[in-house]
Structures are given as structure tokens and as C-alpha cells.
Chains A and B, each alone.
Chain A
Amino acid sequence: MPIPVRLRVNNTSCEHTVEPRVLLVHYLRDFCGLTGTHVGCETGICGACTVLVDGQPVKSCTMFAVQADGFDVTTIEGIATNGHLHPVQQGFWDCHGLQCGFCTPGMIMASVHLLAQNASPSREQIAEGLRGNLCRCTGYSHIFDAVNQAAGQSARITGVARG
């Protein structure tokens, strides 16, 4: 029995009729065409599918699209402004925070929230904030460097993530 859903994705309203079984991550990819959000494990472990729901990071494979009805969703596509990378994206670029790039959208969304909570985290706090995200390539070290660089520019962070 398809159900209508209406939500805001990256500040654009989206309305579709979806089967209740459609996961938020598949909704974003298949209905909204936003394939930046990756699907890794589909069991809540890897964090590749992390998006912000009302500013809070969640794994979008652990949520049905119909449960996001009425909420505000931010994906990796929604954080650059006017062609300028978000400081966290710039950090990943400058510090080689990615190799294959599979974990990157989730890492970046989790990091955006981390810096919104704590503008100058220690390396331990960065590791703690990203412990729900797995990377099989980088060994994490360059990811932490990337977040650290972005933190240095936190004054420029526009506050995509709330709370």
C-alpha cells in the first residue's frame, strides 16, 4: 500500500508516493536521484549512508522513507554553497581523506555534525565522533587530518547541522 511522503531534501521539497518498505537511502538515490549517499552494508554498520535528519546524523539504511515524512534531510549534495566546497569537503580534498571514496559521503556528513557540535575537537574527539563510520582504505589517519583542517576554518562553517 503506497503512502504519500513529503519532506525537504537539501532545502528542496520532495513529494512522492512510496511503498512503506522503501528505505530512506533508496528513496534518496532512486526517487530523488541523489546518488551521493552510498549504500554499503544495509545493516547499520558501515555508516556510508549517513545523512542529517533535522540536523542529526542518522544511517539512512535504518530508516524507512515514510518515517522521514515531514523532516528536513541534508545529504552530501547539499553542503557545498555556490560552487564552494564545504570546509570539511575541502579538508578531505587537501589532506587525501579518501582513497576509493566509498565511505566519504558518510564520513563527511558525520564530520559536519561533529564540527557543529564541537568547533575544535581533539584528535581523540574526532575519532570518537566518527566511530560509527568504517573506512577500508585510509587507515583513518588522513580522515582525522581532514577534519582537523576543517576545524581550523570552523568560522566559515555555515551551520548546515543544527543541535
Chain B
Amino acid sequence: MRGSISNRRLFEPRSLRDALRMLRDEGPLVPMAGCTDLYVSLNFGTLKDTRFLNLWRLDALRKIETRGAGVSIGALATHTNIMRSALVGKRLPMLAAACREIGGVQIQNRGTLGGNVANASPAGDTLPVLAAADAVVVLASAGGIRRVPFTAFYTGYRRSVMRPDELIVAFDIPAVHGRQWFRKVGTRAAQAISKVVMAACDDDRPRIAVGSVGPTVVRLPRTEAALASGASIADARRTLVDEITPIDDLRSTAEYRRRVAANLLARCLTEFGMS
């Protein structure tokens, strides 16, 4: 591995409590889950840290269970675990759809929901789902637990409210009524970072989130409000185009992203039976 002759240290906690104590007493440590993002940055030499905390064996963080009428998903649940979960299939099919689009089978077997969120790429495919579903991020430290609404989790490009002594332990996702929708646009699904990714549900009012069109995943409050007060698809498209702030980068142009996001919205609303 390039750029890694240095002495790396690995901490192997036996339990979540162990892990949180290590983070407090031995920190800063870099948590390792499936490592599908971590190794890429290690290999490119962009990650200088040499002390790691291996979460992979903390099976208690892999649970997917009912929580009221909603679902609670452990941070270490892999994309494969989520795709195969009957509970997710029933209550949150848009999340199963997102996980199915992530990488190939090898990446799905290792990549975790917690890693996708903590990695904080604005193109993470599960992020719009969690945003549209009004998920809550459950963070734990040696000092206790706190619960942060997913829509308040990111504070900027690859920045979040998570502290270095905290881990994501789970996502609590309230019941989503009405239909759910997910769509990713990229060059080759298994290998490509999304150019635009959208999730939506039409609970008592429509909730729509888009990734890859700004520094973080975004909800579209203006578009949602317009739709809630009866806007047509054409009006909603116009509101969305004003509301998002994509950039030109090596994957595509801002103009392309605006157009694709508007097309996705139109497709979604049509499938929801609006006009």
C-alpha cells in the first residue's frame, strides 16, 4: 500500500462500551467499518492518521429492527443486510432500492450505512433516502447518547456535527406513509459516483431530497411547499431548478445536473400520479 510505511495502530474493541472508552482515552482514532471508503483514501495518501478503531466485529451495531411503526437500522448494517431485510423491504423500500444501486456485490457486502453517512460525500446514495424519511442519527460517546435529525447532521462539504469522540450507532427512521421513490443517475451504476441521486415520499405532504447537487445532500423545502399547495409538475420543476445550487466538476456540469434533477422530479411526480 502506497504511503503507508508508517506504524499504523489498530484498536480492537470487544463491545460498544469498549470502543467508546478507547475513543475517549486513546483518541483521536479513525473508526473503521467496511473500509470501502477508507482504503481508497489510505491508498491515495490523503488519510494521514495512523491509529484506527475496528468496529467490524461489533455485531450489536448490525441490527435492523422495528421501532414503533418505523425502523431502527444499526450503523454497521451492510448494504447487503439492508437489501435483504424483509422489514426494510416492507417499511422503507426506497432505502433497499438505494443500497441495491451501491457498488457491486463485493462493496455491498462490506460497505455499511454508517460508513456511507459518516464518509459524508454529497454523492452518498443512501443520504437522500435518510433525508426524505426524516431519519434521526443516533450518536454515542462515553458520555452518553444524543439524537440528531438527519437534516441537521451535515454542516458543510464533508462536515458534520459528529465529534471525534462519537460514533454513529444507529439510524431511527419513523414510519413513512404513502409512496416512496428512489433514483440514481450515474455512468456505470456499480462503479460510478452519482451525478444526481433523488429520494422522495408522498406522506401527508411530499418530501424530496437530492444528492450531488450541492456541498451536502439537500431537502427541497420550497419545492415541497409548492407541491403541498397544489403546484403543477411544470411549476415544481421550475422551483427545483431555482432551489438547487449544483457545480461543474469532473463528473458533469451544473447545467446538466439541474436538468437531470428536474427530470427526475417530473418522473417521480408522474409515478406518484400527479400532473
- Pairing of A with B: yes
Residues of A within 8 A of B (CB): 1, 3, 19-21, 23, 26, 42-45, 47, 50, 56-59, 61-64, 66-67, 110, 113-114, 129-134
A50 touches B106 (CB 8 A): yes
What's the minimum C-beta distance from B36 to chain A, rounded to whole angstroms? 5
Q: Which B1-58 residues have C-beta < 8 A from chain A?
A: 1-2, 4, 7-10, 32, 34-36, 39-40, 43-44, 52, 54, 56
What's the minimum C-beta distance from A129 to chain B, rounded to whole angstroms? 6
A44 touches B36 (CB 8 A): yes
Chain A residues with CB under 8 A of B109 = 56-58
B35 touches A63 (CB 8 A): yes
**With A62-B36, A63-B110, A131-B190 as given contacts, are A20 and B8 in contact (CB-CB < 8 Å)?**
yes
Bound CA span A113–B106, Å: 10
Chain A residues with CB under 8 A of B106 = 44, 47, 50, 57-59, 62, 110, 132
Bound CA span A163–B103, Å: 19
**With A50-B106, A62-B110, A133-B104 as given contacts, are A43 and B39 in contact (CB-CB < 8 Å)?**
yes
By the criterion of a CB under 8 Å from any partner CB, how many residues of chain B are at the interface?
Answer: 30
Interface string of B81-121 (1 = CB under 8 A from A): 00000000000000000000001111101100000000000
What's the minimum C-beta distance from B179 to chain A, rounded to whole angstroms? 25
Closest 7 CB pairs of A and B: A132-B104, A131-B190, A20-B10, A21-B8, A59-B106, A131-B104, A43-B40
Closest to A51 in B: B106
Bound CA span A47–B32, Å: 21
22 contacts between A and B (CB under 8 A): A1-B9, A21-B8, A23-B1, A43-B39, A56-B80, A57-B105, A59-B107, A62-B36, A62-B106, A62-B107, A62-B110, A64-B10, A66-B10, A66-B54, A110-B105, A110-B106, A131-B104, A131-B191, A132-B104, A132-B105, A132-B106, A132-B190
B152: CB under 8 A from chain A?
A: no
B4 touches A134 (CB 8 A): no
**With A20-B10, A62-B110, A131-B189 as given contacts, are A47 and B40 in contact (CB-CB < 8 Å)?**
no
Bound CA span A3–B10, Å: 9
Chain A residues with CB under 8 A of B1 = 21, 23, 26, 42
Chain B residues with CB under 8 A of A64 = 10, 35
